[in-house]
């Protein structure tokens, strides 16, 4: 059985998913594409034998499309497509962030709960990264005792002029907001965002860079996270979990090392599609397998909501002199997501 997939949005991440679905995922077929840039849609359609749709709604409605991927920019456009997919009862994979507001996420959660069945998976691919998976197994198995602290960095080589101070949280730290509480298996209690006085000369007037975030969980695990999006060195993701009996560190993958000119060096990935290539592949394969089996298991709308509520608290802290802000989730997690 082959799953006919339609992809809405063919930008940086969308085009990466197009290639993935068309050439690397078992049981998947790229059946349809659409983008505001028609020529882009035509290009991929031709290359992989898919159909071009006029717009996302048409694609979702098409009887030739079994399941939908929403990879549109700007991110606020996610919401309408995800809601429409729920309405017509189709499985939908939505790149992170689910939407840009907690209210929007809540609307999706409510729609899905009303529908009565999980249809939405959010693109928090790090949960599929072999490194994070290995750390989660160690934590779940208490291999090194109880986790006490996490030190994390989320660094990008560079960002463009449209990336502003708010995006350090909502575009970037959101990954850690999701993956770290998932690692620990518990919710956050509070968070802070501190803007150090000294910034890199490689930033611009609209972007405070770097930023320092902390999160504390219900049980009291303390997390610090450096967000630095103009590091000039590459996409440098680190995560060190300090446990009672040992420390487990995420390691950036490399396949060779080189000795040259008085230095022995290994490679740092240039961006997220390179660093998390395996994670993205495993994520999509799991989603396709889940849809074909009519039972998906990946990050939920609720996870999307939790991440956004967390980001909101961090933004509030940033705007209030790094004050500690409680992270309060809506009433209770619907049974659908247990």
Candidates 8, 18, 28, 180: give the one binding a second copy (CB under 8 A).
28
CB of 227 to a second copy, least distance (A): 11
Between CA 74 and CA 85, with CA 80 as vertex, the angle to 5 degrees is 125
What pairs with residue 237 in β-bridges? 154
Which CB, 108 or 296, lies closer to a second copy?
Answer: 296
How far is 288 from 270, CA to CA, in rounded Å? Answer: 28
Candidates 285, 316, 330, 334: give the one binding a second copy (CB under 8 A).
285
Single out the segment in contact with a second copy by CB under 8 A; choices: 101-109, 198-206, 293-301, 308-316: 198-206
Q: Is 283 in the site for a second copy (CB under 8 A)?
A: no
Single out the segment in contact with a second copy by CB under 8 A; choices: 51-59, 103-111, 120-128, 210-218: 210-218
x/- mask, a second copy, residues 220-259, rule CB under 8 A, reads: xxx-x-x-x--xxxx-x-----x-xxxxxxxxxxxxxxxx
Q: Could you give the residue ranges of the DSSP H alpha helices within 62-173?
A: 78-88, 102-115, 130-140, 167
Q: Is 323 in the site for a second copy (CB under 8 A)?
A: no
Q: Is 338 in the site for a second copy (CB under 8 A)?
A: no
Of 212, 261, 203, give the one whose Cα is nearest residue 232: 203
| Interface positions, 60-119, toward a second copy (CB under 8 A) | none
Phi, psi for 193 (deg, rounded to 5): -130, 120
Q: Is 266 in the site for a second copy (CB under 8 A)?
A: yes
How far is 155 from 148, CA to CA, in rounded Å? Answer: 23
Q: Mapped to the 3 state alphabet, what secondary structure does 196-214 carry?
A: CCCCCCCCCCCCCCCEEEE
Q: What DSSP designation does 98 have?
A: S
How far is 303 from 125, CA to CA, in rounded Å? Answer: 12
Q: Is 212 in the site for a second copy (CB under 8 A)?
A: yes
Candidates 167, 289, 334, 336: give the one binding a second copy (CB under 8 A).
289
CB of 289 to a second copy, least distance (A): 7
Candidates 55, 87, 103, 145: give the one binding a second copy (CB under 8 A).
145
Candidates 57, 113, 167, 268: give the one binding a second copy (CB under 8 A).
268
CB of 19 to a second copy, least distance (A): 10
CB of 221 to a second copy, least distance (A): 5
How far is 44 from 18, CA to CA, in rounded Å? Answer: 8
> Are 267 and 84 in contact, with CB atoms under 8 Å apart?
no
């Amino acid at each position: 059985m082959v799953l006919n997939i339609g992809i809405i949005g063919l930008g940086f991440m969308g085009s990466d998913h197009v290639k993935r679905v068309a050439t690397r995922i078992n049981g998947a077929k790229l059946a349809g594409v659409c983008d505001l840039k028609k020529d882009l849609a035509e290009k991929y359609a031709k290359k992989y034998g898919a159909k071009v749709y006029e717009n996302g709604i048409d694609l979702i409605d098409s009887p030739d499309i079994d399941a939908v991927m929403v990879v549109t920019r700007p991110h606020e456009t996610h919401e309408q497509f995800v809601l429409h997919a729920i309405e017509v009862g189709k499985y939908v994979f939505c790149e992170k962030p689910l939407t840009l507001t907690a209210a929007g996420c809540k609307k999706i959660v409510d729609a899905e709960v009303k529908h009565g069945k999980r249809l939405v998976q959010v693109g928090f691919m790090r949960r599929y990264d072999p490194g994070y998976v290995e750390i989660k197994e160690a934590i779940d198995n208490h291999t090194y005792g109880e986790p006490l602290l996490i030190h994390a960095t989320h660094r990008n080589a560079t960002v463009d002029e449209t990336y502003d101070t708010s995006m350090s949280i909502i575009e970037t730290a959101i990954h850690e907001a999701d993956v770290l509480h998932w690692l620990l298996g518990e919710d956050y209690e509070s968070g802070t965002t501190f803007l150090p006085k000294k910034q890199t000369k490689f930033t611009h007037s609209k972007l405070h860079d770097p930023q320092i975030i902390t999160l504390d969980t219900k049980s009291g695990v303390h997390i610090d996270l450096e967000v630095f999006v103009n590091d000039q060195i590459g996409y440098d993701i680190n995560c060190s979990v300090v446990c009672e009996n040992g420390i487990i560190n995420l390691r950036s993958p490399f396949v060779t090392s080189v000795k040259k000119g008085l230095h022995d060096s290994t490679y740092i990935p240039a961006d997220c599609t390179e660093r998390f290539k395996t994670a993205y592949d495993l994520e999509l394969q799991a989603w396709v397998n889940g849809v074909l089996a009519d039972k998906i298991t990946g990050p939920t709308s609720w996870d999307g909501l939790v991440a956004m509520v967390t980001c909101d608290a961090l933004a509030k802290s940033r705007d209030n002199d790094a004050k500690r802000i409680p992270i309060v989730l809506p009433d209770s997690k619907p049974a659908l997501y247990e």
